[in-house]
Structure 1
Amino acid sequence: MGEIHPYNKYFQDLLPALKSKVEEFRLLNYGTIDIPSLWKYLTAKKWRKPEEDIHVHELVADILSMMPGEYMNYATIEAYRSTNWFEEVNEEELKELLGTKKGK
């Protein structure tokens, strides 16, 4: 996903709406969200198929109508995709965790 999203050119224009949405999420106790995370969600998921003749007001409407659950579902799935749960667990620890260690 190293591609540049076509809507990146609107980022500065959309910044007030992004700030507003982040603040709204924080007021609703979704404090872990920030502007870069929100932008990543929008460009990777909500705007996955960009329209050629989009208007800024349509993008603002997308941002302002977004529900916390939409973002949280995306963030949860991304966390599961990117995490190697056993990365720092060696074979001995894994056997102990799974109860397959001899003598048990």
Structure 2
Amino acid sequence: MNSAHLYDHFRNQVQPALQSKLEELYLLGYGKVSETQLWGFLTKKKWKKPKEEIRLYEVVQEILSLEPGEFMNYQTVEALKSSEFSFQNEEDWKALMK
């Protein structure tokens, strides 16, 4: 079930802001993040409850004001949800404690 988000129609218009945020994440040492990953975070987490009449400048502002830690926390939780990580597995514990 992959329904369209209310803000999806802004995606092409805000592409320069998305690119800027991706470059910022890279320069801060967060590795290579894709535009799809960033947009997924925005639509699934940051804009979980979208405003009906949001303006383009508000969407751009929210993208540019995104804190890298917010995005990385979300990515970490999503990775743990989708992985085979288990607190009962000793190897997983060792990897976590590195």
Using structure 1 for the length normalisation, give the TM-score: 0.79
Taking only the aligned residue pairs, the percentage that are identical comes to: 45
Distance 1:18 1:2 in 2: 21
Q: Secondary structure at the match of 1:6?
A: coil
Q: Which residue does the alignment assign to 2:38?
A: 38
**Mapped pair 1:79 → 2:61:** no
CA positional deviation for 1:48 = 0.4
Amino acid at match of 1:71: F
CA positional deviation for 1:85 = 3.3
Query: Superposed, which structure 2 residues align to 1:55-66 within 5 Å?
Result: 55-66=55-66
**Mapped pair 1:13 → 2:45:** no
Q: Secondary structure at the match of 1:17?
A: helix
Distance 1:32 1:44 in 2: 20
CA positional deviation for 1:19 = 0.2
Structure number, greater radius of gyration = 1
Deviations 1:6-41 (CA, angstroms, capped at 9, x unpaired): 111110001000000000111111113121100000
Distance 2:46 2:32 in 1: 19
Gaps of 5+ in 1: 87-93, 98-104
Q: Which residue does the alignment assign to 1:91?
A: none
Amino acid at match of 1:85: F
Using structure 2 for the length normalisation, give the TM-score: 0.84
Deviations 1:33-77 (CA, angstroms, capped at 9, x unpaired): 121100000000000001100001000000000111000000000
Number of residue-to-residue matches in the alignment: 90
